[in-house]
Amino acid sequence: MTHIFLTGDIRTGKSTVIRKTLLLLKPLDHARKPLFSGFCTYFGPDRTNPDRFLYLNDASSPPVYDEQHAVARFIKGRAPEAFPGRFDALGVKLISEARKNARLIIMDECGGLEREAFAFQNEVIGTLEGGIPVLGVVKAGSAGWTDKICRHPKVRLLTVDRANRDVLPLLIADIMRL
């Protein structure tokens, strides 16, 4: 089994590639496990403001913009402030539930903000050893714990750019064949 992680410059369409891939994969009937679950990170409606939060929620659920789902704060002129405890609590819970309930685990995105979220890191790496395919994103230029993802023998790393982002969903759906 191959896990696929996408990487590439900011705003090249990595999350869009995941969404388009999911549309190509066949949904299941209600008697079987749901197609996908896992986690996604996202900014709120204020994403263009210099002072904003990054949120984490189930990849199969709508965005939630509350304090419990905020995993990092961005303030103009300062380094982002990560909340490792929230990655460890909520992130681990979302991955663990996906391992029990889904046929495909989404991890969008893994990067440097989780460098002190050791339980989260262990859950991500442990999931790669399991039998459920993972489709995720590794932030370009992040180093440290994400190197374990990129170098994992079951991971295929694909770089997304403007030239290939429209064909990647077809390629990934063909590889994953759920």
Per the structure, the complete domain to which residue 10 belongs is given by 3-176
What pLDDT is attached to residue 36? 92
Nearest Cα to 126, choosing from 87, 104, 154?
154
pLDDT of residue 34: 67
Q: What is the pTM of this model?
A: 0.93
How many angstroms separate the CA atoms of 119 and 126, rounded? Answer: 10
Looking up residue 96, the CATH number of its domain turns out to be 3.40.50.300
Predicted local confidence at residue 178, as pLDDT: 54
Q: Which residues of the chain have pLDDT under 50?
A: 28-31
Identify which of 38, 16, 13, 23 has the alpha carbon closest to the alpha carbon of residue 178.
Answer: 23
- Strand (E) or helix (H) holding 78: none
User: How many domains is the chain built from?
Assistant: 1
SS3 of the chain: helix, strand, coil, percent, to 5? 35, 25, 40
Contact 170, 47 (CB under 8 A): no
